[in-house]
Structure 1
């Protein structure tokens, strides 16, 4: 079963950067795909990747990460300054971030207006059939 875990910006806004990363990775390690409102800072993304690389083992094969950040290129100077002040005061809530386990997500394709999440084929492991040999009497 596929689980999407939505995390609003408010849930991580007051956490220290290391705690943000730990929280996000804890969900991903449970094979959940995290939909994060907003985006991490560049340093936090780098730390997330570094921590992921340190934690890779047989059970946890890594993450796939994608950020959609819509850009309003035709904004007036006033709107651009307003948006910058809002980001400084409230954090970067524009767009969203997807983080998922590499054993489930094959690829994240993105362009400015949409994101495509390609999943790996999740076949259940084959069950072992036990056959009983009939003994001849």
Structure 2
């Protein structure tokens, strides 16, 4: 039986310096949820660091993000999302990262992620 853990992490804790901590948690069979969509540069950096840690005991990660899209035609919603991104530096959404040995598949559609463990 796998002891499944889920850890919620704020986007601000996902800088390159903290990726080592994320990898450490992932090696301990922890699924990580981040409160924003990771940028492509952050995703690439995380994958690069993960590749350096691949071993018989750690098969890698599964990663997927969704972005909250503003409602079509709603100017106020688009302005709010733009201001949110400018002031916080993050895109509205969510990222799921988990060990490949636990997460079998992540299905993604525009508004949700379905994670199979």
Which TM-score band (shorter chain)? 0.7 to 0.9
Q: Distance in 2 between matches of 1:20 and 1:84?
A: 26
Match of 1:71 in 2: 69
Aligned ranges for residues 86-105 of structure 1 at < 5 Å?
86-105=84-103
Q: Distance in 2 between matches of 1:102 and 1:74?
A: 36
User: Stretches of 4+ moved more than 2 A in 1?
Assistant: 75-79
Query: 1:8 offset after TM fit, Å?
Result: 2.4
Match of 2:52 in 1: 54
Q: Distance in 1 between matches of 2:18 and 2:71?
A: 30
Q: How many residues of Structure 1 are paired with residues of Structure 2 in the alignment?
A: 115
Match of 2:19 in 1: 21
Match of 1:9 in 2: 11
TM-score between the two structures when normalised by the length of structure 1: 0.75
Q: Is the 8 A contact 1:36 1:98 kept in 2?
A: yes
Q: Distance in 2 between matches of 1:114 and 1:6?
A: 17
Query: 1:53 offset after TM fit, Å?
Result: 1.1
- RMSD across aligned positions (CA): 1.7
Query: 1:68 offset after TM fit, Å?
Result: 1.7
TM-score between the two structures when normalised by the length of structure 2: 0.86
Match of 2:115 in 1: 117
What stretches of structure 2 of length at least 5 have no aligned partner? none
Question: What SS does the corresponding residue of 1:6 show, helix, strand or coil?
Answer: strand
Query: 1:113 offset after TM fit, Å?
Result: 1.9
Question: What SS does the corresponding residue of 1:38 show, helix, strand or coil?
Answer: coil
Q: Look at both structures and tell me which one has the larger radius of gyration over its CA atoms.
A: 1
Partner deviation per Cα, 1:111-131 (whole Å, 9 max, x = no partner):
012211111xxxxxxxxxxxx
Query: 1:93 offset after TM fit, Å?
Result: 4.8
